[in-house]
Amino acid sequence: MLDNFNWGGNDDGGNAVATDGESDDEHERLKQSARGKVAGELAKSKKLTPLRRKQYRQAAGNVIEHMSPHALELWHDNFAGINFYPTAEEVNEVAKALKRQAEQDVDSNAFTAAFVDKGGKAHLNGGSDLGDDTERTIRQYYAHEFGHIVDRGGEFSNNPEWQAAWHKEGGDIARAMGKEGSEGPAEGFAHVAMLAWMFRPLAERHFKQCLGFFTQEGLV
Beta carbon of residue 184, minimum distance to Zn ion (angstroms, whole number):
9
Q: Which is nearer to Zn ion, 169 or 187 (CB)?
A: 187
Do 196 and 47 meet the contact criterion of CB atoms below 8 Å apart? no
Strands (DSSP E) along 74-167, which ranges?
Answer: 82-84, 115-116, 122-124
Please classify residue 201 by burial: count the beta carbons closer than 10 Å to its beta carbon, then call 0-12 exposed, 13-18 middle and 19+ buried.
Answer: exposed
Rg (CA), the chain: 17
Residue 95 within binding range of Zn ion, rule CB under 5 A: no
Beta carbon of residue 152, minimum distance to Zn ion (angstroms, whole number):
12
Q: Which stretch binds Zn ion (CB under 5 A): 52-60, 89-97, 179-187, 203-211?
A: 179-187
Q: Which is nearer to Zn ion, 122 or 190 (CB)?
A: 190
Residue 190 within binding range of Zn ion, rule CB under 5 A: yes
Q: Which is nearer to Zn ion, 50 or 181 (CB)?
A: 181
Beta carbon of residue 158, minimum distance to Zn ion (angstroms, whole number):
15
Q: Which stretch binds Zn ion (CB under 5 A): 10-18, 36-44, 133-141, 187-195?
A: 187-195
Beta carbon of residue 145, minimum distance to Zn ion (angstroms, whole number):
7
Q: Which is nearer to Zn ion, 33 or 128 (CB)?
A: 128
Instruction: Please give the residue whose beta carbon sits closest to Zn ion in the complex.
Output: 190
Amino acid at 92: N
Q: What is the SS3 assignment for 149-218?
A: HHCHHHCCCCCHHHHHHHHHHCHHHHHHHCCCCCCCHHHHHHHHHHHHHHCHHHHHHHCHHHHHHHHHCC
Q: Which is nearer to Zn ion, 2 or 143 (CB)?
A: 143
Q: Report the distance separating Cα 131 and Cα 175, nearest Å.
A: 23
Beta carbon of residue 93, minimum distance to Zn ion (angstroms, whole number):
18
Q: Which stretch binds Zn ion (CB under 5 A): 119-127, 154-162, 171-179, 186-194?
A: 186-194
Residue 174 within binding range of Zn ion, rule CB under 5 A: no
Secondary structure of residue 16 in the 3-state scheme: coil
Q: Which stretch binds Zn ion (CB under 5 A): 41-49, 92-100, 132-140, 190-198?
A: 190-198
For the chain, the first-to-last Cα distance in angstroms comes to: 13
Q: Report the distance separating Cα 194 and Cα 198, nearest Å.
A: 6
Q: Report the distance separating Cα 93 and Cα 65, nearest Å.
A: 30
Q: Which stretch binds Zn ion (CB under 5 A): 41-49, 50-58, 99-107, 181-189?
A: 181-189
Which residues are at the interface with Zn ion (CB under 5 A)? 187, 190
